[in-house]
Chain A
């Protein structure tokens, strides 16, 4: 890199960045790049200062003079002028004319006299006016000619210009930053480095200029720590929900949904759960607070038959629960305690069909203390199959299929009890990953006291399970609450 004949570079001498770029015949941004390296290595010092720049403003450029000068030049020819005439003759815009007038009056260069219904502008002191015109014209012409003036310090600005600063549109003031470079070592040695300087960032400029052919591209440490990047991800629970949806779709099931806020009627009474059952006490179920505490029973045509089934079995051949069923209790609004509420709703609405395969996934609620094993709101899945040939063995077969698709290797069934199914079975599954048998979910055949009164034609196989438990097993989580803490340390870093 040769130094041009424009200026010789000396050690410890300050040079403006722009000038240095010219001297070295190098693009200023590229120079900045080198300077940064040199600064880091202690070869140069970079400093800067601000200077004030004053340029002509819009208005000044428009008239090439100050508006009051234009008016005064007219006035001086005849000592006094009709204001309206002045307005027309000077051809100043209204705002500018008024501003000019204000300045003239303020500086006591002229005064306004009224006579008849007309106003006249009359010069007070002719000498003063000529003085004013001369001084201001000098300043303005200089500014317009030069295009602008620079001052290092605010104090250095001319009084004449200072007066004009506050007038809108007359002057335009800005600041400019000037960068300086001082070579701390012999400039020749510093500049020589460029020849051997390795290119770090390969930029568009370097490719275009061909600089990359003349210099070496620096080698990197491929194991150097770079910044962390994380891909966006679905929540593990969402992935599990999707997985389960797919399993059901594979088996030809229909996805259904239902409300979260339910009447006790649908959530309990339609499922043959008696009204004085422990599960319905305030301890386990969330009842809504007034004014949302009561609702309308969605299927009022079934009220009488549900009542009779609860009280003495209706026509189902059951003893029933032998108590007095209360319709007001059934109208209470709750947060559903199981997705079986969605199931029974849809079963009833589809009672005219001969066969059904339905499933739903959704939030359910239990009024419990939240601890490492329990939540008050969690996700459940409910699956049902209704068919004339549905029986216990088919239920077991379905469950085997379902759990195998979820990743279980072995499944066993044990007798258990649920209030709305009979027989009821408890699936337990085994997988190498878990290393032991665990209980998962529950299943059974809907009791005749439920299906017969509602006109559901055939046996209904039903099964359900909570999803959080599966997440805990899959990710080795001990505390169920972790699932809802949404810690980025887990969500960002988990393996897909």
Chain B
């Protein structure tokens, strides 16, 4: 989950409170302390409140909650200057079609503020930007730009000085050598051999979205005015990013100026900060939260959460701040009522709890009360293994070839398939326990998925010792059958199993239905698992066993 870094200095300067008090109260707006360092802390925030990606976004809500500043923030958006236009060439349509921009003036940025802005930009790239694919952001020093600005495409030999380099590089070189070119070059479709470039009327390059800015418009502590470009493939996401960035920069103290963007077929003005409205009924608030609060309390709570509220008697018309892109339904506003009134004021209750009869899953009960008890009674220790396993380990290692198993795409570990039987997992366990006292008696009950995509519950037991043989595991199987009352209807039939010694393997049939196998492990297989003691095993399907058990009772 994303985090926001805040210096302790900023907390005392902006909130006028000590760090301890801040840390105590911050969980009440759903934020968690992730890291506490010498001069800063990091707060973890959730993907619904992306406006918390910058400290000023957190402060404005926090001020509301502690009652310092409540109600709707009216963001002033100044109309565009006539000269400040961004002209979009039609060639960008297939390369990186959408762009939105705005200007911020009269900023006074400390080095910490710049750090905050850059962190915010990175977070937005990762979340809404989906790693810059959907949306990417360019932040520029406005004073080094001469409008109009042109959003065009160039070919690969086009040159400029990218951030982090001293001299000019061609686009081709940037994509091959520059770290950002290598990382994000794949986001530009290559078949057209055209690359997006943002430049001004002096032919000064601002950036190559989504890869890198040029050094020319680099932002420093001296920067007073900013030009922001937001490009990408998803208009909605771009607008959300523009909203979040502009409101945050206004929170720092900047003045927002709109920009006119001229596409071939249309012109748009950006940003347009929307104040959506939604009605919420007091009854619904009380019903959902289980409270009996008055309209006044609801209004006060909402204003603490920085909403605007209009009283419509039994309903409230709430005005939603533009940066609240997470509000989809009145239920989202109701949650804010709970947060605004202080979560600690909501008392747990059992009122509304109704009586009902418990219901067990029969298969679970059979497995736990009967099967597990039988094997524990026989002195076995229960193991539990992961369902994901390396494909070779569950096939080739146990001498099974040409069998289909369920595999997963792009696993982050070598566990690239789902187990189709329990034995391999237990063999791994035995290996790990070779230095323990013998005999080693392990068993597992668990689900497997076979190549027909059916999920089946199985039980597998192994015994390892200096000396152990077929008779030892047959005795276990016999004991289980006897305990289940199935001795008379069971029989063993010699069979061939690839990982069991020929002539020492059998299948178990109950009522003529094959339910499992047992036998001595082939030494070849044992050595594949690094095991140097003889091992016997018994593995069965539980569901058919259970079915027969039910028929008998």
Point out the residues of chain A lying under 8 angstroms from B236, CB to CB: 322-323
Q: Give the B interface residue count (CB, 8 A).
A: 83
Contact digits for A255-276, partner B, Cβ 8 Å, 1 yes 0 no: 1110111000000000000001
B24 CB-CB contact with A under 8 Å: no
Cβ distance A19 to chain B, nearest Cβ, rounded Å: 36
Chain A residues contacting B16 (CB-CB under 8 Å) are none
- How distant is the Cα of A233 from the Cα of B356 in the complex, in angstroms? 33
| Residue of A with least CB distance to B442 | A486
Q: A283-B412, A363-B387, A492-B436 are in contact. List 10 more A-B contacts (CB 8 A).
A: A232-B375, A233-B381, A237-B384, A289-B407, A320-B328, A376-B386, A387-B354, A393-B351, A396-B349, A448-B331
Contact A261-B406, Cβ < 8 Å, known A414-B30, A487-B433: yes
A286 to chain B, nearest CB (A): 4
A487 touches B432 (CB 8 A): yes
Would you give the shortest CB distance from A331 to chain B, in whole angstroms?
Answer: 14
One of B102-110, B137-145, B286-294 contacting the partner: B286-294
Contact partners of B331 in chain A: CB under 8 A: 422-423, 445, 447-448
Is B263 an interface residue, CB under 8 A from the partner? no
- Given known pairs A368-B412, A369-B413, the reply for A391 and B352 (CB within 8 Å) is yes
Q: What's the Cα separation between A411 and B407 when bound, in Å?
A: 41
Interface contact B346-A393, CB-CB below 8 Å: yes
B330 neighbours in A (Cβ, 8 Å): 317
Q: Would you call A233 and B329 a contact (CB within 8 A)?
A: no
In the complex, chain A residues whose CB is within 8 Å of the CB of B383? 235, 486, 491
Min CB gap A37→B, angstroms:
28
Scan residues 298-343 of chain B and give those whose CB is less than 8 A from a CB of chain A.
327-332, 334-335, 338-339, 343
Q: How far is B388's CA from A368's CA once the two chains are assembled, in angstroms?
A: 12
| A377 CA to B327 CA, complexed, in Å | 33
Shortest beta-carbon contacts, A-B, top 5: A391-B290, A393-B290, A396-B348, A232-B376, A417-B46
Q: Measured between C-beta atoms, what is the minimum distance from B343 to chain A in Å?
A: 6
Within 8 A of B (CB), among A315-329: 316-323
Contact indicator B288/A459 (Cβ below 8 Å)? yes
- Contact A282:B409 (CB < 8 A) given known A391-B288, A397-B350: yes
A-B contacts, 30 of them at CB < 8 A, read A232-B441, A238-B384, A245-B360, A253-B358, A282-B409, A286-B411, A292-B406, A319-B327, A319-B328, A370-B413, A370-B415, A376-B412, A377-B387, A393-B289, A393-B290, A393-B348, A394-B349, A396-B346, A396-B349, A397-B350, A415-B335, A415-B343, A417-B48, A422-B329, A423-B288, A423-B335, A449-B328, A485-B432, A486-B432, A486-B442
Residues of A478-496 at the interface with B, using a CB-CB cut-off of 8 Å, are: 483-489, 491-492
Chain B residues engaging chain A, CB cutoff 8 angstroms:
27-30, 46-49, 127, 130, 134, 236, 287-291, 327-332, 334-335, 338-339, 343, 346-361, 364, 368, 372, 375-388, 406-413, 415, 418, 429, 432-433, 436-437, 440-442, 447, 449, 453, 455
Complex alpha-carbon distance, A319 and B240, angstroms: 15
Q: Is B387 a contact partner of A234 (Cβ separation < 8 A)?
A: no
B residues in contact with A397, CB < 8 Å: 348-351, 353
The one of B46, B360, B436 that contacts A255, using a Cβ cutoff of 8 Å: B360
Say yes or no: A316 contacts B329, CB within 8 Å.
Answer: yes
A392 to B351, CA, bound (A): 11
A355 on interface, CB distance cutoff 8 Å: yes
* Cβ contacts under 8 Å, A394 to chain B: 290, 349-353
Contact B384 A376, beta carbon cutoff 8 Å:
no
**A209 to B30 CA separation, bound complex (whole angstroms):** 83
Give the Cβ gap from B229 to chain A, nearest Cβ, in Å.
Answer: 23
Interface centre among B358, B364, B375, B411, by most A CB within 10 Å? B358
Given the complex of chains A and B, what is the CA–CA distance between A304 and B418 in angstroms?
Answer: 33
> Chain A residues in contact with chain B, CB under 8 A?
228, 230-235, 237-238, 242, 245, 248-257, 259-261, 276, 278, 282-283, 286-289, 292-293, 313, 316-323, 335, 355, 357, 363, 365, 367-370, 375-377, 387, 389-394, 396-401, 411, 413-417, 419, 422-426, 445, 447-449, 459, 483-489, 491-492
In the assembled complex, the Cα of A252 lies from the Cα of B349 at a distance in Å of 17
Instruction: A257 to B436: give the CA distance in the assembly, Å.
Output: 37
Among B355, B388, B410, which residue has its beta carbon within 8 angstroms of that of A282? B410
Could you tell me if B406 and A234 are in contact, using CB atoms closer than 8 angstroms?
A: no
The reply to whether A228 and B437 form a contact with Cβ atoms under 8 Å apart is yes
Q: Is there an interface contact between B455 and A488, defined as CB atoms closer than 8 Å? A: no
A369 to B376, CA, bound (A): 34
Residues on A with C-beta less than 8 A from B27 are: 414
* CB-based contact B408/A287 at 8 Å: yes
- Majority secondary structure of chain B interface residues (helix, strand, loop or mixed): loop
Contact between B407 and A355, CB atoms less than 8 A apart: no
Measured between alpha carbons, how far is A29 from B49 in the docked complex, in Å?
A: 86
Least CB separation from B440: chain A residue:
A488
Pick from B48, B358, B406: contact of A248, CB below 8 A: B358
- When the two chains form their complex, are residues A318 and B353 in contact, meaning their CB atoms are under 8 A apart? no
What's the Cα separation between A19 and B332 when bound, in Å? 100
Q: Once the chains bind, are A259 and B455 in contact (CB under 8 Å)?
A: yes
Measured between alpha carbons, how far is A320 from B46 in the docked complex, in Å? 19
Say yes or no: B328 contacts A289, CB within 8 Å.
Answer: no
The CA of A488 and the CA of B379, in the complex, are separated in Å by 13
Given A292-B453, A391-B289, do A250 and B358 touch, yes or no (CB 8 Å)?
A: yes
Q: Is the CB of A335 within 8 A of B350?
A: no
The answer to whether B455 touches A448, judged by C-beta atoms less than 8 angstroms apart, is: no
Contact A234 B29 (CB under 8 A): no
Within the complex, which residue of A232, A375, A390 is in contact with B380, where a contact is CB–CB below 8 Å? A232
Chain B residues with CB under 8 Å of A375's CB are 386
Specify which chain A residues have a CB less than 8 angstroms from the CB of B29 in the assembled complex: 415
B335 close to A260 (CB less than 8 A): no
Closest chain A residue, CB of each to CB of B278? A317
Chain B residues in 8 Å Cβ range of A231: 376, 379
Residue on A nearest B410 in the bound complex, by CB = A282
Partner of A414, one of B28, B130, B355, B415: B28
Bound CA span A396–B353, Å: 12
A398 to chain B, nearest CB (A): 7
Q: Indicate if the CB atoms of B382 and A235 lie closer than 8 Å.
A: yes
Residues of B within 8 A of A322 (CB): 236
Partner among A237, A260, A396 whose Cβ is within 8 Å of the Cβ of B447: A260
Question: Within the assembled complex, what's the spacing in Å between the Cα atoms of A242 and B445?
Answer: 14
A32 to chain B, nearest CB (A): 24
CB distance from B338 to the nearest CB of A (A): 6
Known: A260-B449, A260-B455, A391-B287. A415 touches B351 (CB 8 A): no
Contacting B332 at CB < 8 Å: which of A228, A393, A422, A484? A422
Whole-angstrom CA separation of A321 from B325 in the bound complex: 11
Q: What residues on B are CB-neighbors of A238 within 8 Å?
A: 368, 372, 382, 384
Interface centre among B46, B354, B429, by most chain A C-beta atoms within 10 angstroms, is B354
A488/B381 in contact, CB under 8 A: yes
- By a CB distance below 8 angstroms, the chain A residues around B328 are 313, 318-321, 449
**Measured CA separation A319–B433 after assembly (Å):** 57
- Across the interface, B408 reaches (CB within 8 A) one of A335, A368, A393, A448, namely A335
Chain A residue nearest to B1 (CB atoms) is A417
The listed residue with most B CB atoms (<10 A of its CB), out of A232, A316, A416, A484, is A232
Chain A residues with CB below 8 A from B339, complex form: 415
Contact A288 B329 (CB under 8 A): no
CB distance from B395 to the nearest CB of A (A): 15
Residues of chain B within 8 A of A400, CB atoms compared: 348
* Residue of A256, A369, A389 touching B352 (CB-CB under 8 A): A389
Closest chain-A Cβ to B333's Cβ sits at a distance in Å of: 10
**Contact between A377 and B358, CB atoms less than 8 A apart:** no
* C-alpha spacing A426/B437, complex, angstroms: 45
Find the A residue at minimum CB distance from B46: A417
